[in-house]
Amino acid sequence: MHQNQALHQGVLPAPTACPLRRLAGAKPRSLRNQIGQAKACPDGACGNGFLNHAFMPLLKELPEELSDSEIVGRDFFRSAGNLCRLYGLALSDYSRVPYPQNIALAYSELSQRVSAMDEQLSLRLISMENSKACLISVKQFDTGNTLFYLPVEPLHRLLSQKEHQAVAELLLSICCYLYQLGGISYHTEDDSYLAYVYDMVSEWGEEAEYFGDSTEQERFKTEVSRIKEAATALLCRISDPSELQALKARQERFNPKDEAEINLKNIAGRVCRLIERFPDRSIMDSVYYGLCIAYCDERAVSADQYLSFLWSSRDVLYDQLMEAVNAELNELSYIDEPVSIQFFDAPQEKISHDLSFETEFFDLLHEICDTLNDFDHEKYHPHT
């Protein structure tokens, strides 16, 4: 996964949980215990009045990232100044507040004011090579809490039918874009998330107690072996650069014969235009692992866990596969979604948060998923 390694070095934790949509079934973490409102003190002197005063917390020992107060303070307030000039903000004076509470208060104030201007915008504090404490503004793309699993079995089936070669080849080139440039993982590769899940459910399915007799069990093993062999062979074509290079020519000469093929041609045209606008962009370029995790012991749903090819939504492994995926991902509270980031280690001339690539990419994913699933469920009846 393409990542900016600087984002792994948080200087200060965010004061509130990140504004990510939680997964279905995941329990939100309570940030603090809620207590009843204290009764007002009666008029007159109160010897214990200090008990009702909120004091700033004290740090017994500073973490290594904050140990150099002069450099960290200088870099942070320089970064804060760059942000304030861009957004026309005036930061409160924290010069008399001890370090590092001055940074924590300033960060909290700026976070609230930026979010008030744009609720989709949030601030993070990171450490980089040229800045010990740099503010960044983050605008997150909402994936809709969706698993984008694209079935390739219908493509495999169409490629085996000579009378449907034009449809199959155009669909193949679209899948080549998603895999070779778009960053969508393939389910038979050893480092992909679904490869691990497929292996796991395949082993479960080989247990004798799941079958009525040995013949049924052998039939299951044969089918699993056939699926893996066919999917591996298809990957050779999806990873072939020449199949992607043929996309534009295939789209231009494709002559659709029904509504489904018209839709396919339109999708291919949109993919061609996206490549022209963003020739080297992968969706993984916009995903930064753990950026919006509020607690160091938390894990997030990674991009390759919700973006992947799979074999089919109708095969012998699909139901168990989805049960395993849902059971694991519903335990996680955050999602690594694509983001647009602006760095404030230097003065910025304008606000630059462009999610046009991500918007078009995910809109296309919805269309391609629907098309592949229509083929998979035989809603599409090819012209013969």
Tell me how crowded residue 163 is: count the other CB atoms within 10 A of its CB. Answer: 11
Give, as one character, the DSSP assignment of residue 3. Answer: -
Domain extent listing, the chain: 1-13+66-140, 148-194+227-335+354-376
pLDDT in tens, 117-143: 999 899 999 888 889 999 999 999 999
Identify the pLDDT of residue 276.
Answer: 98
Give residue 121's Cα distance to chain centre.
16
Category of 146 on φ-ψ map: left (φ > 0), alpha (ψ -120 to 50) or beta: beta
How far apart, in whole angstroms, are the C-alpha atoms of residue 342 and residue 139? 9
Burial of 229 (0-12, 13-18, 19+ CB in 10 A): exposed
Instruction: Give the long-range contacts of residues 251-256, CB within 8 A, separation 24 or more.
Output: 251/170, 251/173, 254/166, 254/170, 255/166
pLDDT in tens, 152-188: 999 999 999 989 999 999 999 999 999 999 999 999 9
What is the SS3 assignment for 299? coil
How far apart, in whole angstroms, are the C-alpha atoms of residue 241 and residue 178? 12
pLDDT in tens, 312-342: 988 999 999 999 999 999 999 889 999 999 9
Percent of the chain at pLDDT above 70? 79
Identify the pLDDT of residue 64.
Answer: 67
231 within 8 A of 187, measured Cβ to Cβ: yes
- Interval 143-149 mean pLDDT: 92
Burial of 212 (0-12, 13-18, 19+ CB in 10 A): exposed
Tell me how crowded residue 50 is: count the other CB atoms within 10 A of its CB. Answer: 8
Tell me how crowded residue 47 is: count the other CB atoms within 10 A of its CB. Answer: 6
Identify the pLDDT of residue 353.
Answer: 94
